[in-house]
Structure 1
Amino acid sequence: MSAAGVETARRQGMAMALVAAAAYGTNIVSAQIAGQAGLSGPLLVFYRVFIMLALVGLGLLIWRSSLSVPRGERRALLLFGVMSSLVGSAYLSSVAFLPVTVAAVVFFTYPVLIVLAEPFVTRTPFRLERLLAACAAFVGVALVVGPDFHGLDPRGLVLAILASLGAATQFFAGAALAQTPLAARLFWSHLLILPVTALILAITGGFQSPAAFALAPLAAAVTIGGYLIGFLLQVAAMTRISPGAAGLAFCAEPVCAVLIAAIVIGERLGPLQYLGCALVVATLVINVTLEHRRRPVAPA
């Protein structure tokens, strides 16, 4: 790929990552509305993974796409699927022991972890400005979410930390799948994720038939649709931009969630939350600028 092609792919990847973050943020609000109507989180997670797998399988049958994975990327794909399962299950389980706000703040340490690990995992040189941007984004997320540190349970903290480590590893594994077709990445990863979500649903004992979506059809549709769009664009973006740039872009997720919650369900935002939103947005602008100025180098 030429230097111009690398730059074009980088621009596309950044746009995809930001849209994916917005889709995930929308997903959070609709899941809350669906939960209030009687649809549990594990139930929604199971069905969204099942639907993604079914849609990808249908697409493979229609377009006869290949499911082959290059030998050199099979380990990365296995790691990507396992880490995707860990992120969902550990993050979902952490909120049983921690306030959601605390779990979110601990989880969103993963962009900082990615920036710190990037020079060791990839050939990307360490960039102080990227680390400072990641730290600023983390502070912004903390202000937006507004964590309540009362009554912390060590089990919840461990699970949230595992989710953060899993998310960081997921981004590196996803970036290593440049030669694997997108359909194959989606199919094999969800084939690994589905049993984990089914096990969680069995443990929680909250299985319901699809007819239960009638309790909140619009919220359920937005929740599932937000995940489908978010995961698709996330996977596509991972092979176009560096893990550090992608991780920082996803700091937009809680900001979108808070702003949508304020518009849709009337949640009131305080001055610190507005400050946090402004800080994250400023960091995203810096992140896009840094990625744009990065010299495009055609891969060997």
Structure 2
Amino acid sequence: MRRGRLSPVGYVFVLVAATLWGLLGSFSKLAFQEGITPLEVAFWRAAIGSVLFGAHALVLRQARVAPRDLPAVLGFGVLGISVFYAAYQLAVQTGGAALAAVLLYTAPALVALLAWLLLRERMTPGKLGALALTLLGVAAISLQGGEVRLSAAALLWGLLSAFTYALYYIFGKLYLSRYATATVFLYALPVGALGLFPLVEFHGKSLLAWAAVVFIALLATYGANLAYYAGLRRLEATRAAVVATFEPVVAAAVAFAWWGERFGPLGYAGSALVLLGLLILTLEGRGKRP
């Protein structure tokens, strides 16, 4: 291992990424408050992000994708961008920023389950324990008595966002070793924006609404991804994944301070179980090559 592999700077980059991702839900709520629908927020996130990543890829000459990989990259644009971005925004609208972030982090458990069912990967005791903790955590959140309530719609959109986010793990395992992140998003983001465009009803926007949308695209999407992968170059993947679990903590804290979102005691316990399950799954893969 290279000496710089565990540089403290790597932790700073990943913490910056997790913080920016954690702010995504609260800034989305600000956009909703200013009259923008969840699907329009998702569209502008993809559209503005495509310009930013496109410029990045072109400047660094990272635009080439092998023809045989284009169908997979474009398909990722539909599921990983159109569906994921829309589902996450709808999860924030129906359940709040904190709940959407916690449900999103059930994704690694879904990855383990799908890999066992579809790819015949071994289901270890650690994975089973993590799955059980995740299910218990979601159940606890649904039964809590706080101001944040897990409605059927919030659960549906939250788990759909987690499922489509889980595709990032699988797609990344197959393709991000071949291409830079900017290369993939150069193609995937415009496809994602086009997939959302027919569903969006556009409205006039205030300066505050545009500020919220630009923050989401520029910092919580483009900036967060750049920071995360800069950190990943300096840290082991396992360490980076554990540090990234700071995201739902930030989301819950900001949602509490800004929007008054409060879990009941059972909700906070359930959130802790989801994060504990994520930690177990992350450590389960320690030392294994992706």
The aligned residue for residue 178 of structure 2 is 179
Cα separation, 1, equivalents of 2:267 and 2:140: 5
Q: Is the CA contact 1:13–1:241 (under 8 Å) kept in the aligned structure 2? A: no
Deviations 1:21-54 (A, max 9, x none): 5433211011112221323322322222121111
Amino acid at match of 2:174: A
The aligned residue for residue 41 of structure 1 is 38
The CA deviation at 1:262 is: 1.5
Cα separation, 1, equivalents of 2:159 and 2:140: 19
Cα 1:231–1:80 change in 2 (3 A) is farther
The aligned residue for residue 113 of structure 1 is 110
Cα separation, 1, equivalents of 2:253 and 2:139: 15
Q: Is the CA contact 1:249–1:284 (under 8 Å) kept in the aligned structure 2? A: no
Match of 1:78 among 74, 84, 103: 74
Please report the TM-score for the alignment, with normalisation by the length of structure 2.
0.71
**Number of aligned residue pairs:** 276
3-state SS of 2:72 partner: helix
Amino acid at match of 1:191: P
The CA deviation at 1:221 is: 4.1
Cα 1:94–1:262 change in 2 (3 A) is closer
Cα 1:160–1:37 change in 2 (3 A) is closer
The CA deviation at 1:179 is: 0.7
Cα separation, 2, equivalents of 1:106 and 1:281: 10
The aligned residue for residue 228 of structure 1 is 222
Cα 1:249–1:259 change in 2 (3 A) is same
Deviations 1:141-182 (A, max 9, x none): 5545757466x47xx877666544433333211221111122
Cα separation, 2, equivalents of 1:125 and 1:111: 15
Deviates more, 1:101-110 or 1:66-75: 101-110
Cα separation, 1, equivalents of 2:129 and 2:64: 40
Deviates more, 1:126-135 or 1:86-95: 86-95
Cα 1:284–1:173 change in 2 (3 A) is closer
**Structure 2, unaligned stretches of length 5 or more?**
none
Amino acid at match of 2:221: Y
Q: Is the CA contact 1:83–1:166 (under 8 Å) kept in the aligned structure 2? A: yes
The CA deviation at 1:226 is: 1.3
Match of 1:214 among 204, 207, 211: 207
Q: Is the CA contact 2:90–2:157 (under 8 Å) kept in the aligned structure 1? A: yes
Matched, 1:273 2:267: yes
CA RMSD of aligned residues (A): 4.3
Cα separation, 2, equivalents of 1:132 and 1:14: 28
Matched, 1:264 2:258: yes
3-state SS of 2:179 partner: coil
Amino acid at match of 1:176: L
The CA deviation at 1:81 is: 1.7
